[in-house]
Structure 1
Amino acid sequence: SAGEREPEPEATPSAVLPAEAEAEASSSTTASPAESAQDAALAAPPPKVVLGKDGVHQIPYDVLQSAREQARRHAEAAYSAAEENAALRRTLALLQQQVSRAGMQPATLPEETQISTEQLEKVRADFPDLAEMFEQVVNQVNYLNARAKPSPVESDADVNPVLEAIARNPDLALWFERDIDRRDFAITVDERLKTDPAWQEQTLDARFAEAVRRTKAAFGDHDAAEAAPSAEALKQQAEAKLAAVKAAVSAPSSPSDVGQPVTQSPQSVLDKAANASETELLTMMAG
């Protein structure tokens, strides 16, 4: 009827599209950048290190591996060059034998060719018109050859100062020969020192000495203990100690002690010291 109203339809939840549901799920599970970085840092494996002998200092393994690889490449290149040089020497010796058997005289290298005075005189006699020009050419060639030869100062400058500095450092020279671990670590330390402003003006000897010191500290090495006192030093110390004992025994401590007998004479102390061992002497000197 007109007085009756139709019932209102019940509200139903709106359908959620799949794309919207996926976006909502992803937004709810997305972490902040800081949390992501922290999670990545926790998940990343720790860098490999090699512990020193003291178990405290750490040497990055990748640094050692890189230095070892570089040293291996250098060793291979040096070995290859040595083999090539040996092969060239054998070839040269064989060619010299063949030339000698054939009765031939090997030609002189152009830079070693010298025109003698007799040859110049012969040119002047045979070709007087060309002699002056020929002599000028010879003089010019000799001048250019003299300039091309390095002077002794330049030859000394060609010597590698790094190798000389390594040879002057006994520890570093020994490591380069026998201890690859300490050598590689010393190279790593030296690379850091080269970029340190405090060490850029230092000499190679000073820088290498610091690299050796830090390497020894990292590996827990200790320098040799101080040498034990020599027999002469022990004798001088004992004499000084005995002189002090003698003065203390002979001098009375108070006026009332004057004329009193001495319980231990200086001579008995001297006799005891003369027959004492090194350990007993040290004990006497220590009081």
Structure 2
Amino acid sequence: MSFELDELTGNESPEEIEALLDRIEADELEIDNDADVSNGQSATGKPTADNSEGSAASQDEPDTSETTALQGIAAKDGEHIIPFDVLERQRETNKQLQQQLDEFKSRESQWSDDQRLLELRNQQLESLGVAPADLPENFNVTEEQLNELAEDYPEIGKMIRHLYARVDQFESRQPHEPASPSNPLADAIAENSDLRAWQQEGGAQWNKALDIDDELRADPNWSQRPLNERFAEVARRVKDQKQSEVKAQQETAEAQDLSDDLPASPSEVGQTTTHQLSPKDRLATADETDIQSMFSGMTDAQIEALLSEFDT
């Protein structure tokens, strides 16, 4: 029986690995029997006929298949071999993982039952008016409780207060986490309300502020000044640009409105706008020719709707 490396996927179950090892052991048994036959004995234990020429030829040509089978499972190309000890370790690993999985599953079931039991007991305590106790490490003694304890039990109260003082002293000596290093640039931006708002929005105003700040950093008159002063100048210039843009837009809109008010031709200068008559008024003052002209450009429904206005 032969085995191929390409048949292994690495996802075999422990049962499949164990079946594969059984097949390997069967092959090893066949190989041992073949080895006994080659040494001069048959499978039944009887000596075989001495064939000097055949044995000499077999010694000159090594049996690669037997060597491969002894080392492991050969691939199709005959060049790669997966050792038996690797398969054995894989089988043991899979067996251990399966045992751990079974153990976790059994514990999960127990944890679920414990959780339900705990919730049930808490409900029973609440129904009796008893609040469930918290964990000991979450319990804090207030100053009022210490005073009450000192009044009822002076010696015990004094001892407990002493212990609390020692604990507070010990905790105060614990090394605190080092503060994060300050960032002067970020601090200066945070102090400027305009820059902070523009940075959060991340729009055109913030891009303008970055461009102006680059210009100021390149300017010798501003490059050596404090960040707060430089950022204040940046905010002022951004606002000035914004006001200039708004003013330009207003002037453009006013110019557009003025151009719309101008007459299209010099002949229209001095003419006043006339009141546009409604179709009903035009029909009431029209002669027969005008009426025919009006009705020629209207549908029957429009004519009927226009005539119905005179009935109201």
Q: TM-score, normalised by structure 1?
A: 0.29
TM-score normalised by the chain length of structure 2: 0.27
Of structures 1 and 2, the one with the larger relative CO (CA 8 A, separation 6+) is 1
Counting helix residues as a fraction of each chain, which structure ranks higher? 2
